[in-house]
Structure 1
Amino acid sequence: MQRRTFLAGGAALAGASLAAAPFAFAQGKPETTKVAIAVGGKNLFYYLPLTIAERRNYFKDEGLEVDISDFAGGSQALKAAVGGSADVVSGAFEHTLLLQAQKQMFREFVLQGRAPQIVLAVSKKTMPNYKSIADLKGKKIGVTAPGSSTAIMASFVLAKAGLSPKDVAFIGVGAGAGAIAALQSGQIDAIANLDPVVTRLERAGDVRVVSDTRTLADTHTVFGGDMPAGCLYASQSFITKNPNTTQALTNAMVRALKWLQNASGSELINTVPESYLLGDRALYLDAWQHVREAMSPDGLMPADGPATSLKTLKAFDPMIQNAQIDLSKTWTNDFVKKALTTVKA
């Protein structure tokens, strides 16, 4: 998985079910209590529900002992799952499509974000005369990691302007202070990243935003429909063998999503690790207001989301363009629907 990261898919299925791969949904004890989760850029708001579930002990309440490994980007977290060192990934939904194109079956089972929250911005230092996306040809664009959802979003924006990913150089800069330093020092000409990183750069006057997906309206403008973002996904074999464990993970995440709907700024600040704040609590809270509506309110996959993801990937990714993707096998709302009948914030 190098330069890839969004989604592929044909017709939107209104409610993909696991009928083709039935599960025992009886409320039972988790088949395995120890679960390894891989994530790429845990400090980002993109993955905030995961942090809330962890920090507020929602996983423990479900009888789970969760070990979360943080990587520089989503593509690296994905490799951990494919390689067997992680059971579940907290990452971009589009990866399930890319995996299917490589004959590997992974399925999303609870959605964290209903908008990608990714922002493409150019450096005022190295591109003071920027006029259009075409000006990015030959430039260096910082992404969390090559093949991550940030690289996918940037690739799609480039494709809409007639450019291909090969027309630029994607540079992995991570999702924290390193990304900020890379932009400010002139190592990169543009950046595709998320909050709180982007708001920090905006406040400092270092960047000019050219494409934004932090709100639902902006996401529809960029992608033409609902674009699912962060989610928990796992191999079909893991879900089939561990339906109660998968349900327990879903319960904890739905509970975190519900909590976030009503959490005050002070409650949020007191819950996340101090390192997430980048040394500025006020800025963190301001960034939170930018992306708050991007959080899924309930964990459900929107009906048109998978098809939007597929269309996005097909715009620039030859592997997806030449693949037959069965969208119904990349996601399910079954676990979330059950969680919504029992879980309270």
Structure 2
Amino acid sequence: MATISHPAIANNPPSHPVVEKNRITIAVGGQNLFYYLPLTIADRLGYFRDEGLTVEISDFAGGGKALQAMIGGSSDVVAGAYEHTLKMQTKKQSLTAFVLMNTAPQIVMAVSRKTLPNYQQISDLKGKKIGISAPGSSTNMLANFVLAKAGLTPDDVSYIGVGTSAGAVAALRAGRIDAIVNTDPVIALLEQNHEITLIADTRSEQGTNAIFGGQMPAGALYGKSEFVAANPHTIQALTNAMVRALHWLQKASPQEVSRVVPASYLLNDVALYQQAFAKNRATLSSNGYFSPSGPETLLAVLKSYDPDFAAADIHLATTWTNQFAAHANDKYK
């Protein structure tokens, strides 16, 4: 994989073990999700500590709220959807993603069989309530795109933030929402009990390509570009830990994964969690690299339904770098 150098980052970030900032706060929107599993593994197995970092993870209801925490200064970096680096450019703020966690969004959009038993097509969602993790999150983005392909706008539905765990399941079961956009293990639980009908499924690269027309970079670690440029040792240490976790996940059994994550992530069904991990494993990055075509696909998708992007001059080269992942993969082969 060729390394793309970010314009604001030195071509060869130093490999000195002393980090500029050894206490780091990472904001995340729903850490229990498989989407963020590499972050959890890096934390639980002590990989951040091994790199000389003390990491505090602040968990929020969705990626949009995690982004707000970083912009507001209460966190240093975000584990979240890469798309936010593009969105913030429309607001004249520069963010850089430095390690990729997922090569597909892992997001599913589905309708409730309880409130919409006769669902036939996406236009049936007009006037309905759709549960997303949080406003501005990647679940919101997917829903907007799916609706747009059917000629609907966000104003044609009501979005409700339901989080990413038991609360999301409860909202659908209680009939408070007519459709849900979420990831595993939430979707796996509802699917197992035949409570939903799938509309869009990006838990595989094939499903992602069918919906978006190409590769779609998803979960990543990103920060303000000036922070990334000013703290190359720290960013390298974070990337080292994440790449090490990605390597571990390529070889780990579902049983090993379920033993490492907190018990609360299992939603009282270890076997279901293990099955869901096996289903999502292929979408986990093996090395933390971005594919150059992925950001281009994402930008085309955003331009297709968001007027802010249609008129924006987005500089993709500043939103991601493989530089740190390259050094991490050299260290952890």
Paired letter, 1:18: H
**Is residue 118–residue 214 contact of structure 1 (8 Å, CA) maintained in 2?**
yes
Q: Deviations over 1:251-285 (max 9, x none)?
A: 00000000000001221111000000000000101
**Is residue 88–residue 234 contact of structure 1 (8 Å, CA) maintained in 2?**
yes
Secondary structure at the residue paired with 1:78? helix
Identity %: 55
The equivalent of 1:92 in structure 2 is 81
Paired letter, 1:269: S
Paired letter, 1:153: L
**Is residue 8–residue 225 contact of structure 2 (8 Å, CA) maintained in 1?**
no
Q: Tell me the CA shift for residue 18 of structure 1.
A: 2.1
Q: Deviations over 1:197-246 (max 9, x none)?
A: 00100111110011100001000001100000000000011111100000
Q: Deviations over 1:115-172 (max 9, x none)?
A: 0000000000111111111111111100000110001011111111111111111100
**Is residue 251–residue 336 contact of structure 1 (8 Å, CA) maintained in 2?**
yes
Provide the rounded CA distance (Å) in 2 between the counterparts of 1:314 and 1:171.
24
Provide the rounded CA distance (Å) in 2 between the counterparts of 1:15 and 1:319.
30
The equivalent of 1:7 in structure 2 is none
Provide the rounded CA distance (Å) in 1 between the counterparts of 2:188 and 2:127.
26
Coordinate RMSD, CA, aligned: 1.1
**Is residue 55–residue 271 contact of structure 1 (8 Å, CA) maintained in 2?**
yes
- Report the TM-score, using the length of structure 1 for normalisation: 0.94
| Structure 2 gap ranges (5+) | none
Provide the rounded CA distance (Å) in 1 between the counterparts of 2:4 and 2:251.
29
Provide the rounded CA distance (Å) in 2 between the counterparts of 1:192 and 1:89.
21
Q: Tell me the CA shift for residue 23 of structure 1.
A: 5.5
| Structure 1 gap ranges (5+) | 1-13
**Is residue 3–residue 326 contact of structure 2 (8 Å, CA) maintained in 1?**
no
Structure 2 residue corresponding to 1:300, chosen from 289, 306, 312: 289
Q: Tell me the CA shift for residue 21 of structure 1.
A: 3.6
The equivalent of 1:166 in structure 2 is 155
**Is residue 23–residue 243 contact of structure 1 (8 Å, CA) maintained in 2?**
no
Paired letter, 1:141: I
Structure 1 residue corresponding to 2:186, chosen from 179, 197, 204: 197
Q: Does 1:108 align with 2:97?
A: yes
The equivalent of 2:224 in structure 1 is 235
Q: Deviations over 1:64-87 (max 9, x none)?
A: 000000000000000000000000
**Is residue 133–residue 139 contact of structure 2 (8 Å, CA) maintained in 1?**
yes
Secondary structure at the residue paired with 1:315? helix
Secondary structure at the residue paired with 2:211? helix
* Compared CA separation, residues 283 and 85, structure 1 to 2 (3 A): same
**Is residue 105–residue 203 contact of structure 2 (8 Å, CA) maintained in 1?**
yes
The equivalent of 1:120 in structure 2 is 109
**Is residue 14–residue 232 contact of structure 2 (8 Å, CA) maintained in 1?**
no
The equivalent of 1:17 in structure 2 is 5
